[in-house]
Chains A and B, each alone.
Chain A
Amino acid sequence: MKKISSISWLIVLMLVSGCWDRNEINDYAFWIGTALDLSEDGNLEKSAQIAVPAGFKSTGRGGSDQRGNIVVTASGSSVVDLEQQVQDKLPRRIFLGHRRAIFIGESLARKGIVSIMDQFTRNTDTRLRTDIFVVNNGKGRDVLEVNSPFNKFSSIVAVDQDRFCRLGDTALRDVLLDIGRDGIRPSMPMVEITARNKQEKNQIIEVKSVAIFNQYLQMVGKVTGRESLELFWMKGVLKDQFITEETESGNIALYESNLKKSIHTEINGDRIKAHVKLEGIGRVIENNTDIDISDTPQRVALERTLDTMKAKQIEATVKKLQGQYGQDVFGIGEEIHREHPYQWKKLRKNWDQLFPSVEVTVTVKLKIENMGGIGKRIPGIGAKE
């Protein structure tokens, strides 16, 4: 009898304390992407890309014209208020746990995103593996409305694209971490819609730039293309990249992986020096020069030329960033903090003023490990015999 009563108490306890939040999977509105923009009247505008599973269904059977998602827009003053407004427009409970990307319109980014970011750190529904983008010269909502042929959700397309050329879905985490430090300024990848031909129109988005923020989380500038990759390499978050170099006799392209960076700082009175060492292991994929890579002396010479060229390029990029924006997106301040913790206490208050005057020297060490040679070279290039 005692046993029975204890078991029934257990059952009651389980039922009373259990999580009664059962919700069928098709009663959820899966929120895949968010766009935050500045509306014309200066309010915050939030757009949500919501999955429509019924439209998603027919993908397996090939060719349906349905989008698989809808974009809902609301405008107001606070992000959470907007969430409520979005919910008001939907017949299913919104579910943020699967949000993959956040797009911030450039005008809003330039105005400042402090009031937006706080919500991401507090709302437990936010997953940290979300990517965050600034939309170059456009509104976030436009990106959500892109109809990519590869995936029903332009948000996921952007994340995947970012993964293959920049950071991938760790961007929000990285940005949040950077915001919390004082020796580094946040930077985030940018997407843009630039149709180059008819087919690309409304279908293709591009991830090629990086937006640079100051400590008040206002966007101050951007770098594009090669420079943006160099920025991430120096920051230490880039894993691999393609490098194309022009030598005197033609261009050579490498696929660089195992990218590493190490920064060493020196403080001599007022002068702050930073030595950056960048390393990588390369595979040659294009060689239009006369150099025979299979010949070790030639290859070593090539490696040296490439190293110095690359170092010069990166130094130029750093100079440009120091001069134009003056924001330490590389984390040199963090490195000083680590190596000279006591001096850093004095430096950190006016780091934004000091950073442009930091003398940065870059050494690059690319190792050609694989010359990518299958068969003979195409006759006419580098034929020496």
Chain B
Amino acid sequence: METSIPIEVDESVKLNHDALLQIFQNCADIVFRPLKLNDHLEILLVYIEELTDSSKLEQIISACMISRDSTRLTQYDSVTHFAAVVAKVLKGCTAIFIDGKPCAYLADLTSFNQRAINEPSNEAAIRGPREGFTEDLKTNLSMIRRKISHPNLKIEKHQAGELTNTEFVLAYIEDRVKPELLQEVKKRIHAIKTNQLMDSSYIEELIEDKTLSLFPQIQNTERPDTVSASLLAGRVAIIVDGSPNALLLPMSFWAGLQAAEDHYERFIYVSAIRVLRLLLAVLSCLLPSIYVALTSFHPQMIPLNLMLSISASREGIPFPTVVETLLMELMFEGLREAGLRLPRAIGSAVSIVGALVIGEAAVQAGFISAPIVMIVAGTGIASFAFPSYSVALPFRLLRFPLLILGGFLGLYGVAIGVMFIMIHLVTLKSFGMPYLKPVAPIGKNIWKDTIVRMNKRFVTEPQKNEENKLN
């Protein structure tokens, strides 16, 4: 049964046919369509029905038939390697074999149903472009190319995944990107050894610096404008076919606190919002632990009247504050997780029930004190203020160890926790760039576009490699 698969395409259509039949055994979606031109010239079309624009195909075939000439077919790219033919057919190309020609012509008549370009649902903006990436690489690349119409925008095609044969591209702007960075990215990409590449996150996991860190070291976005802006700032983008999330690297922590809209709104407002976001980021991580630490270890730090109110609402509560907060935080996270994937109609019902149960009944029944509900709600709101979901995640998770530290060791524990987080963040690097750059180590352009955004008039545009030196 085992016959060797030829390396080169043969002159004989018959042989090629046999070889392909063997390769595509039991592949019901592969169509072999033998044709005869002028009653003697044998032609074989091999394609995947579902991925081919059949009306275009028919048009080409009928044109050939009428003109009784095969030149119409030979205008396509010719390939002599058999493996390349197979790969291309699997990607949706139509392979044309003509008797007497030792090559296959590959017509790209790909057409399949795909999602339309939608507003990016996780990174919506009020002002600025509304288009978001789709699953189709070509569409995504077209969106970037439309924004940067310059030959210096380089798009390198790569492939990974032994079984999935997924295409992905490396995009960068030649004289903006630091050569060492590009080299490092390429090195890590070539080192990828995997069977499958289902999404850009697979690449992220395979090439990131510290895979055990809680903090994402590669930014992901659904927005072509964010990608374009990052490319212009000298970063590298990786876009994977089949994934609507492009990867941007290197990533700094501050990118997670910046929304695309920040560059479209007026700068004073944006600066204020960014400061607010930073504050909320800190709160989302520290609010419960500080509350617990203050109330159970350092009551002298709370103003008298506030403390009496807290004390009054804690009368008769059965749990210690730590346990109380931990329970409520877990409840909140559970509610959030439950609501996330539910159909929209049920989701709202869950949140109403959750809010009622947690907010009202628990307090009324005297299980939970009212300030805890406020603290948990405040933390929840704060954690929704992150423009980037993946940056919000570590803060969500770190809340719990900090809460336990705060509950057992007071502010001392919280300080220890924060110190460890800071040490980690300061040592973390993303493709050679310090994660907290330009705040730690402090950089010249700290006020340009980090915690606040400077007016574009006052910011000198990066010229060629100048920006790279700063990075």
Which residue numbers of A lie inside 8 Å of B, CB to CB? 14-15, 18-19, 21-26, 28, 30, 32, 51, 53-54, 56-57, 95, 97-98, 100, 127, 156
Contact = CB atoms under 8 A, between A and B. Distances in A.
Given A18-B409, A25-B296, A57 B315 contact: yes
A11 to B, nearest CB: 10
Contacts of B295: 24-25
A98 B314 CA distance: 18
B447 interface: no
A19 to B, nearest CB: 6
A54 B312 CA distance: 5
B342 to A, nearest CB: 36
Given A24-B320, A54-B312, A98 B307 contact: yes
A378 B30 CA distance: 104
Interface string B345-389: 000000000000000000000000000000000000000000000
Given A22-B296, A22-B408, A98-B299, A28 B311 contact: yes
B321 A25 contact: yes
A53 B308 contact: yes
B314 A25 contact: yes
A98 B313 contact: no
Interface of B: 295-297, 299-300, 304, 307-315, 317, 320-321, 407-410, 412-413, 416
B311 A21 contact: no
Contacts of B309: 56
A95 B299 contact: yes
Contacts of A56: 308-309, 311-312
Contacts of B320: 22, 24
Contact of A19 (B308, B314, B412): B412
A30 B416 contact: no
Contact of B409 (A14, A25, A97): A14
A21 B412 CA distance: 12
Q: Which 10 A-B pairs have the closest CB atoms?
A: A97-B300, A57-B312, A53-B312, A18-B409, A53-B311, A26-B314, A25-B295, A56-B312, A22-B296, A98-B304
A231 B320 CA distance: 51
Contacts of B410: 18-19, 21-22
Contacts of A23: 296-297
Contacts of B407: 22
A114 B309 CA distance: 36
Contacts of A51: 308, 311
Contact of B413 (A18, A32, A57): A18
A127 B300 contact: yes
- Among B312, B315, B320, B410, find the residue whose CB has the most chain A CB atoms closer than 10 A: B312
**Chain A, interface SS category:** mixed
Nearest to A125: B300
Nearest to B420: A10
B354 to A, nearest CB: 26
Contacts of A30: 299, 304, 307-308, 311
B454 to A, nearest CB: 40
Given A19-B297, A56-B308, 11 more contacts: A18-B408, A18-B412, A19-B410, A19-B412, A24-B295, A25-B321, A51-B308, A51-B311, A54-B312, A95-B300, A98-B300
Contacts of B321: 24-25
A314 to B, nearest CB: 37
B315 A26 contact: yes
Nearest to B322: A22
Contacts of B310: 25
B311 A25 contact: yes
B315 A53 contact: yes
Contacts of B308: 30, 51, 53, 56
B375 to A, nearest CB: 13
Contacts of A98: 299-300, 304, 307
B437 to A, nearest CB: 26
B110 to A, nearest CB: 51
20 contacts: A15-B409, A18-B408, A18-B409, A19-B409, A19-B410, A19-B412, A21-B297, A22-B296, A22-B320, A23-B297, A24-B321, A25-B295, A30-B307, A30-B311, A32-B304, A51-B308, A53-B314, A54-B312, A56-B309, A156-B304
B460 to A, nearest CB: 45
A57 B313 contact: yes
A74 B410 CA distance: 34
B305 to A, nearest CB: 9
Given A19-B297, A19-B410, A22-B408, A100 B304 contact: yes
A290 B44 CA distance: 118
A98 B306 CA distance: 12
A140 B315 CA distance: 30
A54 B320 CA distance: 17
B402 to A, nearest CB: 13
Nearest to A18: B409
A25 B299 contact: yes
Given A14-B416, A24-B321, A54 B300 contact: no
Contacts of A15: 408-409
Contact of A25 (B307, B408, B413): B307
A28 B317 contact: no
A95 B413 CA distance: 22
A95 B310 CA distance: 15
Contacts of B315: 26, 53-54, 57
A54 B309 CA distance: 9
Nearest to B369: A26
A10 B320 CA distance: 26
B165 to A, nearest CB: 39
A106 B145 CA distance: 88
B422 to A, nearest CB: 15
- Among A26, A51, A95, A100, find the residue whose CB has the most chain B CB atoms closer than 10 A: A26
Contacts of B300: 95, 97-98, 127
